[in-house]
Chain A
Amino acid sequence: MSIVILLAIIGILVAGGFLLAFVWAVKSGQYDDTESPAMRMLFDDSKPVENDKE
């Protein structure tokens, strides 16, 4: 039964990983604007590329 303790620790590590990912996502501003990316992804990639970024 003591395997449960190991499982609990693994569980918290996995959940902790998701928490960190969430913190990172919030801090990098991904939740500041939840509308424009939804529209942006629908644009085709065939942009007229005339000047490449350096």
Chain B
Amino acid sequence: MGRKCVHCGEDCGPNPVMWDGKPFCCHGCKTVYQILNEKKLDKYYEIQPMSGIKIEKADVGNKYAYLDLDEIKEKLLDFSDGDISKVTLFIPAIHCASCIWLLENLHTINPGIIASNVNFPQKKVSITFNNKAVSLRQLVELLVSIHYVPEITLDQLGNEKKSNSNRDLLLKIGVAAFSFLNVMLYNFPEYLPGGDQLSGLFTKFFGYMSFVLALPVVFYSANDYYLSAIKGLKHKIINIDVPITLGIFTLFIQSSYDIFTGRGIGYMDSLVGLVFFLLIGKWYQSKTYRALSFDRDYKSYFPVAVTVIKEGKEETIPLEKLKEKDRILIRSSELIPADAKLLKGTAEIDYSFVTGESLPVYKKAGEVIYAGGRQVGGSIELEVIKPVDQSYLTQLWNQEYNKEKKESELNNVINKISEYFTIAVLSVAFAAGIYWLFNDKSLALFAFTSVLIIACPCALALTVPFTFGSTMREYGKRGFYIKNTDVIDNLRKVDSIVFDKTGTLTVNRSMKIEFVGEKLNDEQLKIIKSLVSNSSHPLSITIKEYIETGSVYDVENYKELPSLGITGIVNGKRVNIGSRKFVTGKDDDNPVSTNVYVFIEDKILGYFKIENQYREGLKEVIENLKNKYDLYLLSGDNDSEKENLLRLFGSETKLLFNQSPTDKRDFIRKLKKQGKRVLMIGDGLNDAGALLESDVGLTIADDIYSFSPACDGIIDSRKFFILHKFIKYTYVAFRIVITSFVISFLYNIVGLSFAVTGTMSPLVAAILMPISSVSVVAFATTSVKITSKRYFERA
């Protein structure tokens, strides 16, 4: 173990980069330290030691040249007035207090920056700057130089700034709370012994006051419920909001009637209390993970601008202006934005994000390269053959899927219940009304409205938000982030689970490696490490990390032969490392693993056998899911791993190999046609179509803030081993919902017994309604807390 890097805290290895007597793991980290030290910002390291972010390549070059384009600037800036501009950038790297401190002290690094403000939960920084002193491009490059790389995507450019619905909800809650507390105060004397002897003046005054205070609650705070009820009725669905709306209006009309005819003070306290509790439930449910993005399409993955070559000159244009036949220049580590034909250079395309495959694909001039890959070699020139939005993969990610339909299916258990509920309540109300019509006419209308009032399904409506809202939080604590609470119910209904292989069941960029052949001695190991250290090929890196020896030799005559291997003279000996064909001269015999052969001086020593590594706990996860669900596996790879997988999945499972992204999507479609409810678990963009098509699509991500395809939930890859628990816990959550329903029904029966006998007083309503709401909420949240603790922490 070497020392820890002062900047990022990573192990520096045996040869740390030293500066100012402090060790650094790489030059990048040292440079950031130097910048901060120079500007006397080294307090950064005091707030939270080793808080920096490591970035291997800090070379920016012309990458951000597009930020000089006016049309892009215009879209990106929040506003620009004269010299002053303001921009908000999303920086996924923001993670600690030091980040906030540094980013808010940017003005000490560059005086052109006037002020900056970090929004921590959203991982955003708003920067106000003088655009004469510092350009947007320089600003972004400055952030990159201190390793806070902003994520600038097409997506942000296209969208108008979203209105802040969170603020609206808060305001509604504020208004409801204000009215609730005051109206409660006015009604309270009525409930005390002797309250009915209050002078008429008070009753009238308090009655009018409660009426006035209830107005904004009924017509402002609660209006979302009416809209939703109307929307439901339009689609011929009686959703939970219909009985709520019915209850609110009956309460309001009955109370207003009581107040203005001087009969009493009405039920305004129950009414505003009800709305207040409902809104709290809504707020609790809506607290989602704001820094996570679940609705990404290709736009957030693709670059904002590309370099085109026009008449021999390089020019940066926005991606949306890219046309067919354009000649584009793709530099190292840039994305191919559209299907294109290779004109010049050797393409070495890393499709790891698209297909999950970590080994780059080589292409020769004249071949077609699909959009979505990342060039890892040198610069290449391409001719665009299809517009961006019609490229093979973008089309798939972009497919229209019927979101409306997906949503109306949601909540259907609750909708079913509320449908029966509404019908039952209405019939009880009519029955009571008709009964009293024949027995005591004066009570008929009162009994009718009392039933509607007391049966208002406040507790019912709160059950789901609080149960599923708490479940979502418990999931979040354990590394499973879902888009909204509807996902829980959908996940429960699933009966088939489809897994992607590469990157989902296997660990991305992590390989199982062993050497087959005679045992290597220390010198040979050192020689091999020396040679592979020169190459950036993933296999070389894997081997390099596998060999533990410290120092390396210098390499002479180093040469890299694309798709074959590497060669050079190390310590006076010729060394070849690479494919079987390259090292032994014989053709590949289609082995089940990736083999890298080694030749030193005069003989072939053997080969490194490199295999995919399966995720930890995979066996347990599959075992636990096997009995209850139909399991399928779709892999874009060949079937070299079939034996291993068959053992895991058992014979009844369907293993499909060589599946293209379209095949995957069609497979899900086929399952759904058979009436199955499908959960798709994938990781890369090649699964994007399938994820959209499935009933529930989950992505596995190493870094939850980095790009992931559109999905319903993101699972932290380190938590894969409890996947089955996440899925099965939905049953527990559902049972809690049902139990809460039962509790609220019991309250309703008590309430109804008052209502149908015509003896319901405001006092009964004022006690029964809040108690039922509060107890249901308390039951739902605490039981989720207790059960999830037991469920997830059980071995």
**Could you mark each residue 36-48 of chain A with 1 if its beta carbon is under 8 Å from any beta carbon of chain B, else 0?**
1001101110011
On whether A43 and B101 interact (CB within 8 A), knowing A33-B120, A51-B108, the answer reads yes
Chain B residues with CB below 8 A from A2, complex form: 201
Assess whether A15 is in contact with B178, with CB atoms less than 8 Å apart: yes
B199: Cβ under 8 A from any A Cβ: yes
Residue of B nearest to A5 (CB): B205
Q: How far is the CA of A5 from the CA of B559 in the complex (A)?
A: 94
Assess whether A32 is in contact with B97, with CB atoms less than 8 Å apart: no
Q: Which of B47, B108, B122 is the one whose CB lies under 8 Å from A50?
A: B108
Q: How far is the CB of B175 from chain A (nearest CB, A)?
A: 7
Q: How far is the CB of A6 from chain B (nearest CB, A)?
A: 11
Assess whether A33 is in contact with B97, with CB atoms less than 8 Å apart: no
Assess whether A32 is in contact with B119, with CB atoms less than 8 Å apart: yes
Q: How far is the CA of A18 from the CA of B174 in the complex (A)?
A: 10
Assess whether A39 is in contact with B171, with CB atoms less than 8 Å apart: no
Q: How far is the CA of A49 from the CA of B111 in the complex (A)?
A: 11
Chain A residues with CB below 8 A from B186, complex form: 8
**Could you mark each residue 30-69 of chain B with 1 if its beta carbon is under 8 Å from any beta carbon of chain A, else 0?**
0000000001110100010000000000000000000000
Assess whether B114 is in contact with A53, with CB atoms less than 8 Å apart: yes
**Could you mark each residue 203-233 of chain B with 1 if its beta carbon is under 8 Å from any beta carbon of chain A, else 0?**
0011001000100000000000000000000
Assess whether B167 is in contact with A31, with CB atoms less than 8 Å apart: yes
Chain B residues with CB below 8 A from A16, complex form: 178
Assess whether A48 is in contact with B178, with CB atoms less than 8 Å apart: no
Q: How far is the CA of A49 from the CA of B205 in the complex (A)?
A: 60
Assess whether B174 is in contact with A8, with CB atoms less than 8 Å apart: no
Assess whether A11 is in contact with B185, with CB atoms less than 8 Å apart: yes
Q: How far is the CA of A1 from the CA of B47 in the complex (A)?
A: 60
**Could you mark each residue 336-364 of chain B with 1 if its beta carbon is under 8 Å from any beta carbon of chain A, else 0?**
00000000000000000000000000000
On whether A8 and B205 interact (CB within 8 A), knowing A26-B170, A35-B120, the answer reads yes
Assess whether A15 is in contact with B104, with CB atoms less than 8 Å apart: no
Q: Which of B47, B167, B181, B199 is the one whose CB lies under 8 Å from A15?
A: B181
Q: How far is the CA of A21 from the CA of B493 in the complex (A)?
A: 46
Q: How far is the CB of A19 from chain B (nearest CB, A)?
A: 4
B182: Cβ under 8 A from any A Cβ: yes
Most chain B beta carbons < 10 A, residue from A2, A22, A27: A22
Within 8 A of A (CB), among B166-188: 166-167, 170-171, 174-175, 178, 181-182, 185-186
Assess whether B182 is in contact with A15, with CB atoms less than 8 Å apart: yes
B202: Cβ under 8 A from any A Cβ: yes
Chain B residues with CB below 8 A from A22, complex form: 174
Assess whether A8 is in contact with B97, with CB atoms less than 8 Å apart: no
Chain A residues with CB below 8 A from B434, complex form: none
B121: Cβ under 8 A from any A Cβ: yes
Chain A residues with CB below 8 A from B166, complex form: 31-32
Within 8 A of A (CB), among B109-131: 111, 114-115, 118-122
B75: Cβ under 8 A from any A Cβ: no
Q: How far is the CA of A7 from the CA of B560 in the complex (A)?
A: 88
Assess whether B97 is in contact with A26, with CB atoms less than 8 Å apart: no
Q: Which of A8, A29, A32 is the one whose CB lies under 8 Å from B209?
A: A8
* Size bracket of the B interface: 35 or more
How many residues does chain A have at the interface if contact means C-beta atoms less than 8 Å apart? 33
Q: Which of B104, B164, B178, B213 is the one whose CB lies under 8 Å from A40?
A: B104
Within 8 A of A (CB), among B72-122: 97, 100-101, 104-105, 107-108, 111, 114-115, 118-122
Assess whether A48 is in contact with B182, with CB atoms less than 8 Å apart: no
Q: Which of A4, A12, A23 is the one whose CB lies under 8 Å from B174?
A: A23
Assess whether B122 is in contact with A19, with CB atoms less than 8 Å apart: no
On whether A11 and B182 interact (CB within 8 A), knowing A22-B174, A35-B120, the answer reads yes
Assess whether B119 is in contact with A12, with CB atoms less than 8 Å apart: no
On whether A40 and B100 interact (CB within 8 A), knowing A22-B174, A35-B120, the answer reads yes
Chain B residues with CB below 8 A from A34, complex form: 121
On whether A33 and B119 interact (CB within 8 A), knowing A47-B105, A47-B108, A50-B108, the answer reads yes
Chain A residues with CB below 8 A from B108, complex form: 47-51
Q: How far is the CA of A35 from the CA of B96 in the complex (A)?
A: 11
Q: How far is the CA of A34 from the CA of B186 in the complex (A)?
A: 34
Within 8 A of A (CB), among B155-172: 164, 166-167, 170-171
Q: How far is the CA of A26 from the CA of B177 in the complex (A)?
A: 15
Assess whether A48 is in contact with B121, with CB atoms less than 8 Å apart: no
Q: How far is the CA of A53 from the CA of B114 in the complex (A)?
A: 7
Q: How far is the CB of B128 from chain A (nearest CB, A)?
A: 10
Assess whether A43 is in contact with B167, with CB atoms less than 8 Å apart: no
Q: How far is the CB of B514 from chain A (nearest CB, A)?
A: 46
Q: How far is the CB of A35 from chain B (nearest CB, A)?
A: 4
Q: How far is the CB of B211 from chain A (nearest CB, A)?
A: 13
Q: How far is the CB of A3 from chain B (nearest CB, A)?
A: 12
Q: How far is the CA of A41 from the CA of B482 in the complex (A)?
A: 32
Residue of B nearest to A54 (CB): B114
Q: How far is the CA of A51 from the CA of B109 in the complex (A)?
A: 10
Q: How far is the CA of A51 from the CA of B113 in the complex (A)?
A: 10
Q: How far is the CB of A43 from chain B (nearest CB, A)?
A: 5
Assess whether B111 is in contact with A51, with CB atoms less than 8 Å apart: yes
Assess whether B167 is in contact with A35, with CB atoms less than 8 Å apart: no
Chain A residues with CB below 8 A from B104, complex form: 40
Chain B residues with CB below 8 A from A36, complex form: 100, 118-121
Q: How far is the CA of A31 from the CA of B39 in the complex (A)?
A: 33
On whether A12 and B182 interact (CB within 8 A), knowing A1-B199, A31-B170, A48-B41, the answer reads yes
Residue of A nearest to B186 (CB): A8
Q: How far is the CB of A44 from chain B (nearest CB, A)?
A: 8
Chain B residues with CB below 8 A from A8, complex form: 185-186, 205-206, 209
Within 8 A of A (CB), among B239-279: none
On whether A26 and B171 interact (CB within 8 A), knowing A5-B205, A8-B209, the answer reads yes
Chain A residues with CB below 8 A from B201, complex form: 2, 5
10 contacts between A and B (CB under 8 A): A5-B201, A26-B167, A29-B167, A32-B119, A33-B122, A34-B121, A36-B118, A40-B101, A47-B105, A48-B39
Residues of B within 8 A of A (CB): 39-41, 43, 47, 97, 100-101, 104-105, 107-108, 111, 114-115, 118-122, 164, 166-167, 170-171, 174-175, 178, 181-182, 185-186, 199, 201-202, 205-206, 209, 213
9 shortest interchain CB distances as A-B pairs: A36-B120, A48-B40, A39-B97, A33-B119, A19-B178, A35-B120, A51-B111, A22-B174, A26-B170
Given A11-B182, A33-B119; 18 other pairs, CB 8 A cutoff:
A5-B201, A8-B209, A15-B178, A16-B178, A23-B174, A26-B171, A27-B167, A32-B166, A35-B121, A36-B119, A40-B100, A40-B104, A43-B97, A43-B101, A47-B105, A48-B41, A51-B108, A53-B114
